[in-house]
Amino acid sequence: MTKVKVAILISGRGSNMAALIAAAKDRAYPAQIVLVIANLADAGGLALAAAQGIETAVIEHAPFGKDRLAHERMIDAKLRQAGIEIVALAGYMRVLTPFLVEAWAGRMINIHPSLLPALPGLHTHQRALEAGLEKHGCTVHLVTAGVDEGPILGQAKVDILPGDTEASLSARVLEEEHKLYARCLADLAKTITKTS
């Protein structure tokens, strides 16, 4: 089976990245993780990926100052050079310009810790608690120009329990994120294999 080549973009600890790497080890999984790119040299996920024998690259945004486009052109060049077919954002804490979004339209996905369209943006667990919601969860969506707005590929729900704190709720959602992301990436990879 030819596996679809995936790059993961991270900024931090990379637990979703690690979940995708683990899922892709299954022979029957339709995608392989071949590259991890971080915009911060101290992103914890880099060491995890390297320990799994996956190529890593650090393309820091800071040296580019306000020139987001130049930073993204460098990322795009690296993705193309590696023959990437799908880009998975996993805790990548940069808002993208239309350049990268359009370059990867239909092939770039993101995981967000809420049931979109509810609670786009940051601090979703705290906001879910403050709003007194009964349900919370996570969403995998295609990346489009609007932040956290693209077509939804999948969602997983969790109940908000009495006594939940930001920490307990985020831990429960994170467990679901790991399963959901692996499932949605596989689904997208299968559609790409069929159409190519």
Active site residue 112: yes
Could you give the CA distance from residue 51 to residue 45 in angstroms, rounded to a whole number? 10
> Which of 103, 177, 180, 185 touches ligand GRF (CB under 6 A)?
177
> Which of 5, 61, 71, 112 touches ligand GRF (CB under 6 A)?
112
> Which of 29, 30, 33, 91 touches ligand GRF (CB under 6 A)?
91
- 141 touching ligand GRF, by CB under 6 A: no
Q: Which stretch binds ligand GRF (CB under 6 A): 10-18, 72-80, 144-152, 159-167?
A: 10-18
- 14 touching ligand GRF, by CB under 6 A: yes
Query: In one letter, which amino acid is 106?
Result: G
User: Could you list the residues that contact ligand GRF (CB under 6 A)?
Assistant: 12-17, 90-91, 111-113, 174, 177
